[in-house]
A and B are shown apart, each in its own frame.
Chain A
Amino acid sequence: MGGLQKKKYESGSATNYISRNKARKKLSLSLADFRRLCILKGIYPHEPKHKKKVNKGSTAQRTFYLLKDIRFLMHEPIVGKFREYKIFVRKLRKAYGKAEWGTAEKLRGNKPGYKLDHIIKERYPTFIDALRDVDDALSMCFLFSTFPRTGKCHVQTIELCRRLSVEWMNYIITLRSLRKVFLSIKGIYYQAEVLGQIITWLVPYQFAHDHPTDVDYRVMATFTELYTTLLGFINFRLYQTLNLVYPPKLDGKGEEESRAESEEDYAMDSERYMEVLLHLFCHSRFSHPCFGSLQEKLFEGLKFFLNREVPRESLAFVLRCFGAQVSWDKSLCIGSTYDVTDETITHHVVDRPSLEKQYINRYYVQPQWVYDCVNARMLLPVEDYFVGVTLPPHLSPFVEEKEGDYVPPEKLKLLALQKGERPEQEEEEEEEDNDDSEEEEDEDQSDDEDELKGMEEKCRVCRPIVLFQASSVKVTPGEAKPVNRQRAEQEAKAEEKRLAVMMMKKRDKYLYDKIMFGKKRSVREANKMSAKRKALDEASKANKKKKLKK
C-alpha cells in the first residue's frame, strides 16, 4: 500500500478541457480577438461529458474548449498579426493625441494586415472539402452584396462580395448546374450541383434592409472576411477547371481598364463591371453547350422578355441556367439584347394584373411559371400561370416525402404530370386514393376498439344462455354471422403483437415507445393536414357553387 494520494482534477477529462476565459488568457488576446481567431480557424467549444468534473466541482455555466484546440491556436501566425495590429492602433492613437500628423501618416502607410490563405488551406486541405462548406459563404456574400454602401461595413467588402457572387453565378450559368429554385418568404433559395456537391444558398429579395440593432456586425464582418477569401479561391479554381481566366475579363480588358474607359457612361464603374459581367458573359463565347443534359436544356430555344416589375437578376440567372435567351427593357438595365417588339419572343414574364398592349404570338406568364418549370424539370402548362390568373401553390422542391408523411395534392398532381398522365383523371383517382387511405388509417386506429366491441358482443351472445331466466323460455332461430376471416386473422396478429410488446425489456420498451410515439405523431399531423385541406377544398367548392347559382 502507500503511495501518494491522488489529487482531484489533475488527470482525465478535467485536463482535456479549458474554459474560454483561461484559453483567452493563455493566448493573451482580448475577447474580441479571441472570437475572431475562433471564427477564422473554425474552433468551436465542446460540451464535456462530465461537466462538473471538468469544471472542478463547480456547476457554474462555462464554455469549454478542447485544450488541444487552444494549443493548436497558439502557434497560429495570425495571433502575432493581431498583436501587431493592436500595437498599431495604440501608436496611431498616441500620434493623433499628440497631433503628430506626420507620424500618424507614416504609421498608416505601414498598417499591418494579414492574409487568410494559409488558414483556408489548413481548414480545407482538399478542394472538395472547401466546396462542401461553401453554402454559408455564398449566403453571406449574397447578403452582403445587397447592403447599402453606407456605414455598417466597408464599401470594399460589399463590392468584393458582389463581385464574387456575380462570378459564382456566372460559373453556374456556364456549367448549367442549377438544380432547384424556391421562392420563399425569406428570399430565393437556389440549389446547384458543383462537382458532385449539392450546394444551397439563399439570396434575399432586392429591398433595402432595415438594419437590426441586436446584431453584432463585427462577427458578421469577420465571417465575411473568411468567406470572401474562401469563395475567391473556389471561384479561381472553378474558373480554372473551365479553362477561363480569373478574374474574368471583358473583351480582353480587366476590371481596371474597363473602368477607366467608360467613366462618363455609367455612374458606378464597379457596378457597371458587375452588370456587364453578369449579363453579357453568359451568351458570349464562354458558354459550354456540351454540358447540358436534357433537363438542363429545359428552356433551350425559348426567348424570354422580362417586364420591368419582375425580379430581373434572379429570373435572368435561372433562365440562362437552362439555356433560354433573356432580355429586358433597355432603360431598365444594361445588357438588354432585344426589344419588346421582337416577334420571335416566345414568353413574356409579367407580374401585374393586366397588360395593355399584348402581342399575339407569345405567352404572357407570371414569374412563378419559370421557377415551377425548373423544379418540375419540365415545361408546365402555361394556362395556370397567365396574367391575372390565381396562381397554383408554389411548392418547395426540397421536401422529399417519406412514407406516411403528408403530401399536398398539388405535389401528387405534379408527380402524375411528370409520369405523363393526364391531369383530370388523376384528380379523381387521387380523391379515391385519399379516401381509401384515410379509411385504412381509421381502421388501424379503431382496431382495439373493434376488438373490445367484438368481445362485448360475444358476451352479449353468451349472456342469454347463462342468465337465469325462469320466465319466457324461447327458442329463436339463430342468424349465421358472416365471419370475416381476414379480419379475424389480422386481429389475432395484432393481439399477438400487443402481447409480445408486453414482454419487452424495460430498456427496449422505452425505445419502442419513443419510436411509436414519433410515428403516431407524424401520422396525426398528416391526418390533421389532410383534414384541413379537405375542409378548405369543400369550402372553396361551396363558394364556387354559390357564385354559379348567382
Chain B
Amino acid sequence: CCGLLAALSLHITFSLSLSLSLSLSLSLSLSLSLSLAFCSQDIRNTVGNIPMEWYKDYPHIGYDLDGKKIFKPIRNKDELDEFLDKMENPDYWRTIHDKMTGTDVCLSDEQVDLVHRLQQGKFGDVNFNEYEPAIDFFSNEVMIHPVTNRPADKRSFIPSLIEKEKVGKLVHAIKMGWIKPRRPKETAPQYYDLWAKEDPNAILGRHKMHIPAPKMRLPGHEESYNPPPEYLLTDEERQVWEQQDPDERKLSFLPQKYLSLRAVPAFSRFIQERFERCLDLYLCPRQRKMRVNVNPEDLIPKLPRPRDLQPFPTLQSLVYHGHSSLIRSISISPSGQWLVSGSDDCTVRFWEVCTTRCLKTMEVGGPVKSVAWNPAPSISLVAVSYGENVILVNPGLGDRLICSATDQLISSYEEPEEVKDQQVQWAVPEGKAQEQGQRLILTHPKAVKQVSWHGRGDYLACVMPDDGSSLQVVIHQVSRRRTQNPFHRNKGAVQCVSFHPSRPYFLVATQRYVRVYNLIKQELTKKLMANCKWISSMAVHPGGDNVICGSYDCRLAWFDLDLSTKPYKVLRHHKKALRGVAYHKHYPLFASGSDDGTVIVCHGMVYNDLLQNPLIVPVKVLKGHIITHDLGVLDVAFHPTQPWVFSSGADGTVRLFT
C-alpha cells in the first residue's frame, strides 16, 4: 500500500515537472525528462541544463549515469536525405530532435495529445477534474466534529484596544463637531406666499435710493421677421453697417425679411445678448439723469418785435458801382449828401448819395486805408490815408461858400516863428494835386491805418499800428499844422482810435483792451476789457456813455461806460470776423458788418434813466455783398440824418440800405 502511494506521488511529481518545463520552454522543445520517460534504455545525460553547443567540438555529448561518455550518434543525413525523409516518412511531423542525446525521437499518440492539451492550457492529466464541488468546512452549520482542534485565542475574549481607539476618535470628532450627523431632508415647500405680510417698515432707505435697471428696449419695426421694405438696408447701408465697429452701430443686427414664419432661423446671438444684458445688470454703474424736457420755444428770449422798433433799414436800395477793388473805408459828409469811399485800387471816389453818381475820382499813390469826412458842417474837408501819407482833401462839393471858406482856412496858416522839429511833415501840394482838391499832405514815419476826426473838426487822430512802439497814435491840429504824440508809451498794437463826442476823452483800442484817456487831465480814465481776441473796430455812442467794439473773433461787445469795464452784452450774431461797426447819430441804431457778407442792424436804445439798462434788439440782417477773397463787408456807416446804412464790401461796391 505504501509503495503504491509512493508511485502515485512520483507520477504526480513527474507530470507537474513536465507541465512546468513545458510552460518554460514553450511547446515544442521537449526536455530531457520527457524523452527519458519513453526510452527503454536509460541513457540519461548528466550534464544538466547547459547550452549544448559547449559540446559542439567534442565527439561525445555528455555523460551517462555511470560517468561514461555518451557519444554523438553518427549523423550521415544531408539536406537531401532530410528532404526525402520529410516527403516520405509519414511520422516526420511527430519526430523531434533531442539535443541532449542527439537522437531523433518519434512521439507517440499520447504524447502528441499531451502536447495539444498543454498548448490549450488544460491540465496534462485527462482525468483530472478541476471543478470538483467545494466543501465549505467553515460554514455557519455547527458540525459534530471541530474542523481544527486549535484552542481559542485570548484576544477573542478581551475587548479590542484598536477598536476602542477608533471608536474613541469618532466620538471625539462628533463631540468636537468635526463629524456632523446627516442633515434631515427639507420638508418645507420650496415656494410659499413670500409677500403674505407686506410690512411697510421693510421699505428701507436703500429702496428709496435704489435705481431700478432700465428695461430692455422694445423692438421697432426693423426687428420684425417681415418688416416693411423701407426698413431693410440697401447694399451701401449694409456695407457701412458691416464696416462699422459693433459698438458704433445704430442697429445691433441686420434687418431681414423672410417670406414666411417657417423660414425664420434661430437668432445666432440670442444667448450673447441675454448674457450682455446680465452683464449690464450687475456691472453697469447706474445713475439718475435728469432729462431736461425743455420746449425750445421757451428758450428764445422775449424781445420787442422789430416792426415796433422802426425805422431801421430793411432793403437794399442803391448800389454804387465804380471801384475795381475792395473798398476799405467809406464816410458820409455831415450834410448827408455826399459819400466818399477809399479803395485798394488807389482811388478815392466821391459819390452823390441819392443818385449813386460818382462825381469825382481822385487817384492817390497807394491803396487807401481810411477816409474820414470832417464832421464839422462848416468845413468841407476829407482826410484820406494811404501808405505813410494822410492827405486832406477839399472835395469842392456842395455849398461853394463852405468850400472856399475851407480853402481860406487852410491857406490862412502862417508859419510860426520858431519851427519845431516834428515827426510828421506837413506839406502843401502843388500843381495837379492842388487842382484835384488836395490841400495838405502829412507824411508820417509809418503807414497810417486809420484816421479819425474830432467832433469839432480841428483835430485829426491817425493810427500807425506797430506793436509796442511809442509812436502809434498822433493827433494833428489842422488849423495850426501841429502834431502831437499823446502817448510816450503804448501797450500793444493800437487798432483804432476815436474821440469822445462830448467830453475830452480819447479812446484807444488795442488788441484786447479799450483805454479811455482824459486828454485834459492827461491820464487813463478807464480800461475796458473786451473779452475777445482781437478788436477790429470801435464806435462811440453819440450820447457818449456807450461803446461798441467789433472783433475778429465774431463778437460784438457793447460797453456801458457807467456800468462796468466789462461788456454789458456780447453779441455773436456774425459767423465770421467783424470788420466795421457804427452808431447812428440820432436814431437808436447800430450796425455791424462782417466777413460773412451781412450787415446786421440792431436797435440799441439807451435810456436817460441811469437805472435802466440799454435795450439791444437785432432788427434786420441785411444781405447783398458778394464775398470775394473770403472778405465780405469791410466798413459800415450810417447816414447822419436818415435811418439809412451804407456798407462797403470786398466786391468793390458800396451799398445803401434804406
Q: A residues bordering B, Cβ < 8 Å? A: 35, 38-39, 42-47, 63-64, 72, 106, 109-110, 117, 120-122, 124-127, 129-130, 132-133, 135-136, 139-140, 143, 182-187, 189, 200, 202, 204-205, 207-212, 214-216, 219-220, 223, 232-233, 235-237, 240, 246-247, 309-311, 351-352, 366-368, 390-391, 393-396, 398-399, 408-410, 452, 455, 458-459, 462-463, 466-468, 492, 495-506, 508, 511-512, 515-516, 519, 529-530, 532-533, 536
Contacts and interface: CB of A to CB of B under 8 A. Distances in A.
A530 B191 CA distance: 53
A23 B33 CA distance: 88
Contact of A220 (B278, B299, B572): B278
A533 B357 contact: no
Interface string B236-273: 00000000000000000101101111101111111111
Contact of B191 (A133, A235, A498): A235
B28 interface: no
B152 interface: no
A496 B264 CA distance: 56
Contacts of A209: 266, 270-271
Indicate the size class of the contact surface on chain B: 35 or more
Given A351-B261, A396-B223, 19 more contacts: A63-B285, A109-B182, A110-B180, A125-B198, A183-B261, A186-B270, A205-B265, A233-B193, A368-B261, A393-B224, A393-B229, A455-B624, A466-B356, A468-B357, A496-B306, A500-B300, A500-B301, A502-B572, A533-B230
Contacts of A135: 215-216
Nearest to B253: A185
B455 interface: no
B182 A110 contact: yes
B571 A44 contact: no
Given A130-B195, A135-B216, A499-B619, A532 B230 contact: yes
A512 B296 contact: yes
A394 B269 CA distance: 22
B362 interface: no
Contacts of B319: 459, 463, 466-467
A488 to B, nearest CB: 12
3 smallest A-B Cβ distances: which pairs?
A207-B266, A398-B218, A47-B285
Contact of A499 (B259, B306, B355): B306
A462 B224 contact: no
Given A109-B183, A466-B317, A504-B301, A219 B271 contact: no
B266 A204 contact: yes
B195 A395 contact: no
Contacts of A503: 301, 303, 571, 616-618
Interface in B159-174: none
Contacts of A121: 194-195, 202
Nearest to B356: A466
A189 B621 CA distance: 55
Given A186-B223, A459-B316, A462-B316, A223 B278 contact: yes
23 contacts: A38-B282, A44-B285, A46-B286, A106-B179, A125-B199, A143-B270, A237-B194, A393-B221, A393-B228, A393-B229, A394-B227, A399-B220, A459-B316, A496-B305, A499-B303, A499-B617, A499-B621, A501-B300, A502-B572, A505-B301, A508-B301, A512-B300, A532-B234
B585 interface: no
B15 interface: no
Contact of A125 (B207, B220, B299): B207
A395 B230 contact: no
B221 A408 contact: yes
A236 B193 contact: yes
Given A185-B223, A500-B300, A503-B303, A35 B282 contact: yes
B227 A351 contact: no
A161 to B, nearest CB: 13
A206 to B, nearest CB: 8
B284 A185 contact: no
Given A35-B282, A209-B266, A72 B224 contact: no
A536 B315 contact: no
Contacts of A455: 315-316, 623-624
Nearest to B287: A47
A247 B307 CA distance: 78
A132 B212 CA distance: 9
A366 to B, nearest CB: 7
Contacts of A72: 206
Given A237-B195, A366-B261, A500 B278 contact: no
A409 B319 CA distance: 53
